[in-house]
């Protein structure tokens, strides 16, 4: 899945090479405002993606905690284990 358009990636790559918005705009023959607007769009996409990932991680943490609560932590002796298994059948 592509999060950035080809043009956004091109602008971002050039900015990484030049390290300067003005130079990036000159080399790509666009205005500085276009560079700033593109960076704002990229940041918005990044924040949305980051929020989504954090929500997934939070859900996984909750699931793991629920699983820990539901999993018995008591070690059963062999005879007791056999009795439980027989009961479950």
pLDDT in tens, 5-33: 999 999 999 999 999 999 999 999 999 99
pLDDT at 89 over 90: no
Does residue 27 form part of some domain?
yes
- Cα–Cα dist 60/18, whole Å: 40
Does residue 1 form part of some domain?
no
**pLDDT score recorded for residue 26:** 97
Does residue 40 form part of some domain?
yes
Burial of 30 (0-12, 13-18, 19+ CB in 10 A): middle
Does residue 30 form part of some domain?
yes
Does residue 69 form part of some domain?
yes
Domain count of the fold of the chain: 1
pLDDT at 37 over 80: yes
Which domain, by its residues, includes 43? 6-88
Does residue 65 form part of some domain?
yes
**pLDDT score recorded for residue 68:** 57
Do the beta carbons of residue 20 and residue 30 sit within 8 Å? Answer: no
pLDDT in tens, 43-76: 998 888 888 777 777 777 666 655 555 555 555 5
Structure pTM? 0.60
């Amino acid at each position: 899945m592509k999060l950035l358009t080809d043009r956004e990636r091109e602008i971002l790559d050039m900015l990484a090479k030049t390290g300067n918005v003005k130079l990036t705009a000159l080399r790509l023959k666009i205005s500085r405002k276009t560079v700033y607007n593109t960076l704002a769009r990229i940041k918005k996409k990044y924040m949305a993606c980051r929020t989504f990932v954090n929500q997934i991680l939070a859900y996984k943490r909750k699931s793991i905690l629920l699983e820990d609560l539901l999993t018995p932590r008591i070690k059963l002796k062999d005879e007791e284990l056999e009795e439980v298994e027989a009961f479950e059948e």
